Chain A
Amino acid sequence: MRKPAKKTEKRFTPQKTQTTPFHPRTNQFNLMQNWDDWAGYLAANVYESFEKEYFAIRNQSTLLDISPMCKYRIKGPDARKVLDRVVIRNVKKIRTGRVGYTLWCDEEGMTIDDGTIFRFGKQDFMLLCAEHMYSWLQDAAWGYDVEVIDESHNICGLALQGPTSYSVIKEAGFKGVETMKPFDLREVEPGLWLSRTGYTGDLGYEFLTENKNALKLWDRLWKAGRQNWGLIPIGLEALELVRLETGFIAPGVDFQAAHAVSRVGRGRTPFELGFGKLVDFNKGHFNGRRALLEHQKNGKRYNLVKLDIEDKYPADSSYVYVGKEKHIGFVTSAAWSPTTKRNIALAELEAPYGDTIRDGIWVEVYVDKEGKWYRINAKATVVDGSFFSNPRTRQTPPGPF
């Protein structure tokens, strides 16, 4: 606990949005000066052109400043136990040098957030996620021999994503990356951690390093990628589209983080979000286990599904119906996918729709055509697997593009 601020303390103005250590570069490239607030940091929405950035992710390579992500270091003899206590999957199965995606729940089995666990060593982990988890992890770690450190503000992150991203890394002189499989994690150079992960569904990597190394890293990648591999920085808007193409879910959008909502009944179980397979009931007690067993017994209340919608108009904020006009849910995210040439969406449907009942589902889309509004009832098909999928994402060693 810190002492109350003294008169002599340097004047700090908390109102001012913070900048990440990459800001000198991101600011320079941000021609549109189109910024958003991401977890209290300035984050670029669009640097120059949304289209250019989107297609660069699927065609070249891109840099995304992911420093605002929450990053919690969990270290010590009980580190694995604490993480296993928190998350639904078996952390034992995430070996050193690997990254694992997981969800975690409150006592009622409602999803608090999703994120990735980075295993640096036997007793050394980092949890990356969107929601603030510091006091939650502190509470989970109570009584354990473990240290939970909020490194969100000390460690920066840079995602290098796109078909030519491996080539950029190679040209930048990083050694041994060719053997890295998806979800592999390595300290490629002292103090610089590289993982083959991402939020784009394409070939891609993520760097984690101390803030002081940020600009050096950016410049090195920039130099390696700009000339030959089409490297450009991308903003959050392009990211939003590619994550939807891949079918990744976003807290606050496709599900409500249990700790963030004040209305009762907004929580969803991992089963309802489509991650039932991740839940490991055999690993011992973990948060929400008893409630999840009940939920497993009682069945799902909702289904978060991927929809392929006919016609071309994105079904943002649309109601979903079945049959004549029975309202069964609503769209949480929607977009026209330029790569797959499909009109795609994520939607939350009341169970058993989207699960055992999949026929006759349609969405109501409102379209503005130069000032005149049209209501379109478009057929929707439930899709399993991601909308976008390309072998290059998983190929090891990766190809040049």
Chain B
Amino acid sequence: MSHSDKFDVIVIGAGHNGLAAAATLAKRGKKVCVLERTNAIGGMAQSRDNDGTSVPYIAHLLHNLNPTVVKELGLSSAIKLKELPTIALDPDGRHIEIAGNKAQYTDGSAHPDAAIYEEIRARIIKFGQLLEPMAARTAPDLSEGASFAGLPELMPLAKLGLKMKLMGKKEMREFMRIALSNVYDLILDDMEDGVLAGSLAADSVWGMWTGPRSPGTVLSLMYRYCTGGQSSLPIGGMGAISHAIADVAKNNGAQIRTNSAAEKLVVEDDQVTGVVLKDGTTIETKAVMSSAGAFQSMMIGGHENFDVEAVRRLRNVRSKGTTAKVNIVLKDVPEIAGLSDSQMASRLLIAPSAYYIEQAFNAIKYGEMPPAPVIEAVIPSLSDTSIAASGKHVLSAVVQYIPYYLEGGWNDKARNKLTKIVVDTLSKYAPDLRDKIDYTETLSPADIEQETGAPGGHWHHCEFSTDQMLAVRPVNLLARYAFGIKGFYLCGASAHPGGDVSGLAGRNSALQLIKDGAAS
């Protein structure tokens, strides 16, 4: 056992949240070390180089990078984003282009539901932005109640209440009505089901074990749209985001060590004092933040240091992954009838109706792959010349409702079946796709778990449902980042406010740690 120097905080995991935590701490003068199990930083947000072709390994678009994080970490100059419109593909060829809240057919003609679509989307964004301050801080603690000591905790809630009042009775009532309802009814109360409805419904369920008809999906849509609802392509790939945050951390003195797997915490009298690595090395520290899943973090902390009820709850965290990733490396760009070359560079969405999405969801409940999955695809090299050097293109496809617990388990045969389903589904819109495939790379939720450590391969680490949100995320009584043992903090997507490449969980957790004085 060797003793290197002592840190204020060790961050476990160099995903974007771990890095955001490290950067936040380093900027505030803390001596930080990030430990990454694999040989590359970024977690789900990394670009891989496959023989000169840049492949967005898992995540491929930014939806929700939080402006507060960008501002606090000074990222705005380091990252370049290209906003992509969405093309919602129609099996009958009447594709729809959506830019901001505006929707029209790809040929420029007006969509009959465009006005109502705009109204619904704008309202969701408005309500999302209303809730955003709740996401950008630690979940409220109600234990002090309406006492003097409890005031600071009640203030944000009071502010939220005030803001709602300021919207006026009508909007406040609308908020109350829809907040906990389901997106299927919300949309179809006012619109015909179809491609446009499907595009909105799809955004409420990415990465989740819920269908559009499940209550709670309006809230998840508000979360996704809480920073405006745009999809952006990071120039240089998703890895560029992770590297930009890592640079902030490093420039402020943080160390980032890859190939360093944290095995277990050293705990003395219920206080974290160090981390033991897999190779047996011990590093001393005053505090540890873990961006691993909640359950995995408990195991690193040592389950013996958690109360029986906490262990039970953490074992019950629902994190059944539902999203697979298929990267199709192409010899040439395929064609989709009705789309111009520039439109091909958009975010391509296969979710032709809310009904279609719900049907796709049905299969996962019984451990099956849907024959017609929901797909979000993008060919980054069409928008980002910096990664087009090899001449090859990558069609990056996020595939929704692929079960982590597949009946029969995940193996090559199952993976091939998934690849075939995805290629078949895409080929309905791009018939020449098959001829242009160089090779494919398929990651099931189980593979994503294997690669990134995300529990269940889950997008949010911990299902983003109302019963695992805010003051009960990831579990009741451990929702304020502090994670049982003194000096131990949770900072990944399974902590409040949840997943997406937003950076908030890491940043909030770091601020809470400083507030608690855990690194001083």
Pairwise interchain contact A285-B309, C-beta atoms closer than 8 A: no
Q: Which residue of B lies closest to A112 (CB)?
A: B308
CB-based contact A107/B305 at 8 Å: no
- Residues in B with CB closer than 8 Å to A136 are 308
Within 8 A of B (CB), among A79-129: 81, 85-86, 106-107
**Binary contact track B301-314/A, C-beta < 8 Å → 1, others 0:** 00111111111100
Contact B308 A107 (CB under 8 A): yes
Fill in one digit per residue for A278-289: 1 if any B CB lies within 8 Å of its CB, else 0. 000000110111
Q: Which chain A positions have C-beta within 8 A of B270? A: 285, 289-290
Quick check: B309 and A107 within 8 Å, CB to CB? yes
Contact of B315 with A by CB under 8 A: yes
Asked if A143 is at the interface (CB within 8 A of a chain B CB), the reply is yes
Contacts of B308 in A (CB 8 A): 85-86, 106-107, 136, 139-140, 287
In the assembly, what is the distance between CA of A142 and CA of B299, in Å? 12
Find out whether the CB atom of B477 lies under 8 angstroms from the CB atom of A143: no
> Per-residue 0/1 for A332-358: is the Cβ within 8 Å of any B Cβ (1 yes, 0 no)?
000000000000000000000000000
Chain B residues with CB under 8 A of A85: 304, 308
- Give CA–CA (A85, B305) in the complex, Å: 9
Minimal beta-carbon separation of B308 from chain A (angstroms) = 5
Residues of A within 8 A of B (CB): 81, 85-86, 106-107, 136, 139-140, 142-143, 284-285, 287-290
A285-B305 contact in complex given A107-B477, A142-B315, A290-B270, C-beta closer than 8 Å: yes
Can you list 17 A-B pairs with a CB-CB distance of less than 8 A? Answer: A85-B308, A106-B308, A106-B309, A107-B308, A107-B310, A107-B477, A139-B311, A140-B308, A142-B311, A142-B312, A142-B315, A143-B303, A143-B304, A284-B304, A285-B304, A287-B308, A290-B270
Chain B residues with Cβ below 8 Å from A285 are: 270, 304-306
A288 to B467, CA, bound (A): 24
Minimum distance in angstroms from B287 CB to a CB of chain A: 17
Sorted nearest first, the 5 A-B pairs with minimum C-beta distance are A107-B307, A107-B309, A140-B308, A143-B303, A285-B305
Give 11 A-B pairs besides A136-B308, A142-B315, A143-B311 with Cβ atoms closer than 8 angstroms: A106-B308, A106-B309, A107-B309, A107-B477, A139-B308, A139-B312, A143-B303, A285-B270, A287-B308, A290-B270, A290-B484
On chain B, the residues within 8 Å of A287 by CB distance are 307-308
Q: Which residue of B lies closest to A85 (CB)?
A: B304
Residues from chain A with a CB closer than 8 A to the CB of B303 are 142-143
Q: Which residues of B contact A107 (CB under 8 A)?
A: 307-310, 477
Bound-state Cα–Cα, A107 to B303, Å: 14
- Shortest C-beta distance, B298 to chain A (Å), equals 10
Interface residues on B, range: 10 to 19
**Of all chain A residues, which has the CB nearest B267?**
A285
Contacts of B307 in A (CB 8 A): 106-107, 287-288, 290
Give every chain A residue within 8 A of B315 (Cβ-Cβ). 142
Q: How far is the CB of A288 from chain B (nearest CB, A)?
A: 7
Interchain CA distance A107-B307 in the complex, whole Å = 6
Contacts of A284 in B (CB 8 A): 304
Q: How far is the CB of B401 from chain A (nearest CB, A)?
A: 29
Chain B window 281-322, contacts with chain A (Cβ cutoff 8 Å), 1 for yes, 0 for no: 000000000000000000000011111111110010000000
Minimum CB–CB distance from A3 to chain B (whole Å) comes to 21
Q: Which residues of B have CB within 8 Å of A289?
A: 270
A142: which B residues are within 8 A, CB to CB? 303, 311-312, 315
In the bound complex, CA of A140 to CA of B306 (Å) = 10
For residue A86, which residues in chain B have a CB less than 8 angstroms away from its CB? 308
Residues of A within 8 A of B484 (CB): 290
Closest chain A CB from B58 CB (angstroms): 30
Q: Closest CB-CB distance, B158 to chain A, in whole Å? A: 25
Question: Given the complex of chains A and B, what is the CA–CA distance between A136 and B270 in angstroms?
Answer: 23
Within 8 A of A (CB), among B483-499: 484
A81 touches B312 (CB 8 A): no
B477's closest neighbor in chain A, by CB? A107
A74 to B484 alpha-carbon distance, docked (Å): 26
Q: How far is the CA of A357 from the CA of B477 in the complex (A)?
A: 35
Residues in B whose Cβ lies below 8 Å from that of A139 = 308, 311-312
Query: In the bound complex, what is the Cα–Cα distance between A366 and B312 (angstroms)?
Result: 47
A140 to B309, CA, bound (A): 9
In angstroms, Cα B39 to Cα A58, docked, is: 75
The answer for the CA separation of A143 and B310 in the assembled complex, in Å, is: 13
Distance in Å: Cβ of B86 to nearest Cβ of chain A: 45
Distance between A96 CB and nearest chain B CB, rounded to angstroms:
23
Q: Chain B nearest CB: distance from A32 CB in Å?
A: 42
Closest B residue by C-beta to A140: B308
8 A Cβ contacts from B304-362 to A = 304-312, 315
Q: How far does the Cβ of B144 sit from chain A's closest Cβ, in whole Å?
A: 13
Residues of A within 8 Å of B477, CB to CB, are: 107
Q: In the complex, A287→B311 CA distance in Å?
A: 11
Closest to B484 in A: A290
Chain B nearest CB, measured from A292 CB (Å) = 11
Which partner residue on chain B sits nearest A286 by CB separation?
B307
Report chain A residues within 8 Å CB of B305.
Answer: 285
A139 to B316, CA, bound (A): 12
- Expressed in whole angstroms, the minimum distance between the Cβ of A196 and any Cβ of chain B is 31
**Nearest-neighbor residue (CB-CB) of B306 within chain A:** A285
Closest chain-A Cβ to B195's Cβ sits at a distance in Å of 46
A106 to B309, CA, bound (A): 8
Q: Which chain B positions have C-beta within 8 A of A288?
A: 307
Roughly how many angstroms separate A288 CA and B270 CA in the complex, as a whole number? 13
**Assembly CA distance A107 to B310 (angstroms):** 8
Tell me, rounded to whole Å, the shortest Cβ–Cβ distance linking B32 to chain A. Answer: 26
Query: Once the chains are docked, how many angstroms separate the CA of A85 from the CA of B311?
Result: 12
Determine the distance from Cα of A107 to Cα of B477 in the docked complex, in whole angstroms: 10
CB closest residue in chain A, given B305: A285
Q: Min CB distance, A271 to chain B, in Å?
A: 18
Complex: A86 Cα to B311 Cα, angstroms: 13
Distance in Å: Cβ of A323 to nearest Cβ of chain B: 29
Interface residues as binary, B407-448 with A (CB distance below 8 Å gives 1, 0 otherwise): 000000000000000000000000000000000000000000
Closest residue of chain A to B313, judged by CB?
A107
- What A residues does B304 contact at CB under 8 A? 81, 85, 143, 284-285
**Interface positions of B from 270 to 284, Cβ below 8 Å from A:** 270
Q: How far does the Cβ of A284 sit from chain B's closest Cβ, in whole Å?
A: 8
Report how far A81 CA is from B311 CA in the complex, Å. Answer: 16
Q: How far is the CA of A321 from the CA of B86 in the complex (A)?
A: 74
> Which one of B310, B312, B484 has the greatest number of beta carbons of chain A within 10 Å?
B312
* A288 vs B306: C-alpha distance when bound (angstroms): 9
- Shortest Cβ distance from B90 into chain A, in angstroms? 48
B444 to A: closest C-beta gap in Å = 27
**How far is the CB of B502 from the nearest CB of chain A, in Å?**
31
Q: Which residue of B lies closest to A78 (CB)?
A: B304
